Amino acid sequence: MDWSQLRTIIWLRWRLTRNQWSRSQLNAVLIMIVAVTVLVLGVVSGVAGVLVGFFVLAEMSPQRLLLAWDVFFGVFLFAWMIGMVSEIQRSETIDISRMLHLPISLRDIFLVNYIASHMTISIILFLPLILGLCLGLLLSGRWLMIWMFPLVFCLVFMITAWTYCLRGWLAALMVNKRRRRAIIAGVTFSFIVLVQLPNIISNLAHGRKKHRPDTVKSAPLDEQATRQPVSRNKRPIPHAVLLAHKVVPFLWVGNGAMSLARGNALPAVLGTAGAFCIGGLGLRRAYRTTIRFYQGRTIGRRSKQKPKAKKVPVVRKNFLERQLPGIPDEAAALALAFFRSLTRAPEVKMALATNFIMLLLFGTMFFARRMSNLSDNFKLFIASGPILFTFLGMSHLVFNQFGFDRGGFRQLVLLPVPRRHILLGKNLALLPIAIGIGLTLLVLVKIILGISFTIVLAACLQLLAVFVLLSIAGNLISVLVPYRISPGSMKRTKTSAMTSLLIFISRLLFPVAMVPMLLPPAAGLLMSSLGWLPAGPVNLLLSTVMLGLLVFFYRLSLPGLGNLMQRREKQILQVVTAEVE
């Protein structure tokens, strides 16, 4: 390493930062206030760690010490993941692309960027806390705890190195703007699912514990008397948990603390060496990936392409390309184009991911209580939940059908087709999505809760009926109250006060559109309670009648709504294409 070059690079970075601050003195003052506040919090965190380690952790048993370190390090990992999600594509302190033509070592610049990436709130707040805990344990008289310092440093080095490598790999992938939006949406969704994972596991564990047979009550009194002293004793940590602490690198801190408390320094030494080696591999991988990216080389090895024999292409018709009775060819072609646009837009994927998140949250609660006895009357309404979840995540798409088109709406204006065919194509593009999500949820409800096939069939008809009803309302609201959606997000652009009020009213009236799907089961329940007819067949019959009536009214509404769209298409074009952020 050339120290003179390194000093010059650091001075250059500081000079550029100082010039940026001199342009706006207010911004510089605010940055300094925030920096001083964070540093003070870091010092306070370190002092608190010393006190907790000296007065609290020093009095704990080795097993409790393991659990305590797991909690502290888990909070640090959670805060580090939040910072990573908030800034997926890393911003380099020194742009390597501007240094490629200079006779300097790129390794020094890479190390400066890597060290600068540690200047985050999670590191400044939690690293002094963890080091303070180590110092508190050391001051309490446990001299073997000195091995906790290299163990903590090496584990933090391992995490930051592989995180830097991951962010560099994502930066290379996100050069393509469409891929960048998809990656951001996918990482955000994965983080939400990961955060909700403990809640899901707790719901499942609560359900198993609730339905486990109570053996203590059925046992004789003498056996209960012999079991009471055993239950009062402290339960040891299971062997599987201890094995996981020896294998999983993130848990080596707790395992090292427990072993050092017992007088064995070997696990801490091995954990330090292993974390240092793993972190070194991650940093080496990050360096190679970064240099390849800035030098314009592809990441990974290209496989040699062998000449393939020419095959006759087999033309397969898509579901939306099939001829359906009563649907014009123009509407079918537009439905296929709209469907492709929906499946490629990351903001649409995030809107539809709401269904999956709600399924994880509420579905596990039902699964945990799957053995509870549900009455037949309640089973008539249990299928309404999946229908509500299906359209709750699609409300942004149904009530704002042109907001995601943005500049593409110009092509719709220039098309020489009746405007009712455009509305029909918009609705048909959403039909496969609604059917796919709704049927998946209904099948899960059928398997988990064991509702009858008649109720499931009636719920399928209600799903189609509610979709047709929401299509009528969505066509009207989309024409009257359009608004633009920012690319890559679900955030709408700035709208007027009247438009915001109408959007709020339309969302407020969404539960009103769900009322018709409750009418068939309510009528079936009434007929069954009066003893006239069974509830299942009545629910199925009325669902069929309701679907037929709504389809009839939908066909009647298309010409009028198409004419309304033709009169307002200039206003819609002006709203959805204006980039007012």
Per-residue pLDDT of the chain in tens (581 residues, 90 and over written 9):
566 766 776 777 677 767 766 666 666 677 778 778 888 888 898 899 899 988 888 888 888 888 889 888 888 887 777 766 555 555 555 666 666 666 666 777 777 777 777 777 778 888 888 889 899 888 888 888 899 999 999 999 998 888 888 777 776 666 565 566 666 666 666 666 666 666 655 655 555 555 454 444 444 444 444 444 444 445 677 888 888 888 888 889 988 999 998 888 899 999 999 999 999 998 888 888 877 777 666 544 444 455 555 555 555 555 555 666 678 888 888 888 888 887 777 667 666 666 666 565 555 555 555 444 555 556 667 777 777 777 776 777 888 888 777 778 888 888 888 888 888 888 888 888 888 888 887 887 777 777 778 888 888 888 898 889 888 988 888 888 888 876 655 566 666 777 777 777 877 777 777 777 778 888 877 887 777 877 778 888 888 898 899 999 999 999 999 899 889 888 888 888 876 54
Q: Distance (Å, rounded) from C-alpha 174 to C-alpha 180?
A: 4
CA distance 369 to 388: 20
C-alpha to C-alpha distance for 291 and 299, rounded to whole angstroms: 10
- Could you tell me which residues come within 8 angstroms of residue 204 by beta carbon, excluding any fewer than 6 positions away? 364, 367, 368
Among candidate residues 520, 529, 482, 489, the one with its CA nearest the CA of residue 503? 482
Which pTM does this prediction carry? 0.54
Q: Give the span between the Cα atoms of 138 and 146, in whole angstroms.
A: 6
β-strand partners of 485: 492
Cα separation, 431 vs 425, in Å, equals: 10
Distance CA 421, CA 327 (A): 9
